[in-house]
Amino acid sequence: MPTEQVHRTSHQVTADAPAATVYGLLADAERWPLLFPPTVHVRRLDTRDGGDGSRVERLAIWATANGTLKHWTSRRALDPAARRIGFRQETPAPPLRSMGGTWIVDALGADRSRVTLLHDFTVVDDRPDDVAWVLRATDTNSRSELGRLAALASRPRRLDGMLFTFADSLRFRAPAVTVLDHLDHAALWPGAAPTVALRLPETGEVVFKTPEPPAPLSVHTGGWTVDADGPDGVVVTVRQQVVLRAEDDVPRARQDVREEAGRVARTALTRLRDRNELIPSSA
């Protein structure tokens, strides 16, 4: 049986931020959809803490690569003392045979650090077109992630100050399974910019992210959930998380975004309700 070639890449960025701040952003993987443009959703599957502060965890990750949505499970080993995070995909998404690497954060002084992102991967049958595709995706995503990481780490309060969450709900006269079966974010959301949406297999929740949201947003993510409400009804909730662009008037932008995004969500909820009320509740 032939052995595929191991390809290796290395990307670096310098951040005007303490190494501990940078490492903290990398360690909090479930927040990556708000940090990294390619990441759509991350869910921690399990975690095991070591006695010295280290941790091993498994993550379900959905992210775009060259514009294509990919999903994989990754095992990470976190070492805060060394400020290193090793990762390895358990079942890589095609065309990969294997994919792993390491995040390394080195202090360059009290308020300056260097971040190195290493990857190693193999591709099924070493097909040249597939190797080129993975190299392009790895380079694009790594540069995007490192650039965003350095920008946020240099102003650690920026994300929290510009981030806010809100929700809109509507009651339906329909079984939960009926609502879930007809929950198509792209078809329901009016006038949306190109959006990536996916249905989580365990819960049926639909999560979405707009990779390039219009001003005044720099990040826009969200999700649909369905909860039982009596024997013949459910409550459908749309939760949205947005990060404002720093140059905007934050109080006014918050108000405008809440009103407009809420209006869009309520329109989508009404469309979904109208579709489901055309279906007999016993269906």
Asked whether residue 146 falls in the same domain as residue 33, the answer is yes
* 143 & 179 share domain: no
pLDDT tens, residue order, the chain (283 aa): 458 999 999 999 999 999 999 999 999 999 999 989 999 999 999 999 987 889 999 999 999 999 999 999 999 999 999 999 999 999 898 999 999 999 999 999 999 999 999 999 999 999 999 999 999 999 999 999 999 999 888 876 666 677 889 999 999 988 888 888 888 998 999 876 789 999 998 888 999 999 888 888 888 999 999 998 988 889 999 999 998 887 666 788 889 999 999 999 999 999 999 888 765 444 3
Residue 283 lies inside a defined structural domain of this protein: no
Residue the block writes with tokens 């990919």: 70
Q: Are residues 13 and 150 in the same domain?
A: yes
Look at residues 155, 187, 202 and tell me which one is the last residue of a structural domain: 155
Whether 30 maps to a domain, the answer reads yes
Burial 159-174 (b: 16+ CB within 10 A, else e): beebebebebebebeb
Query: Does pTM top 0.75 for this prediction?
Result: yes
Q: 253 lies in a domain?
A: yes
Q: Are residues 170 and 195 in the same domain?
A: yes
225 forms beta bridges with 237
Examine the domain organization and report whether 89 and 174 are in the same domain: no
Domain total of the chain? 2
User: Is 263 a domain residue?
Assistant: yes
CATH number, domain containing residue 206? 3.30.530.20
Tell me the Cα Rg of the chain.
Answer: 21
Nearest-CA neighbor of 70 among 34, 48, 38, 101? Answer: 38
- Cα 122-125-130 angle, rounded to 5 deg: 65
138 and 226 together in one domain: no
Q: Residue 24's domain spans which residues?
A: 7-155
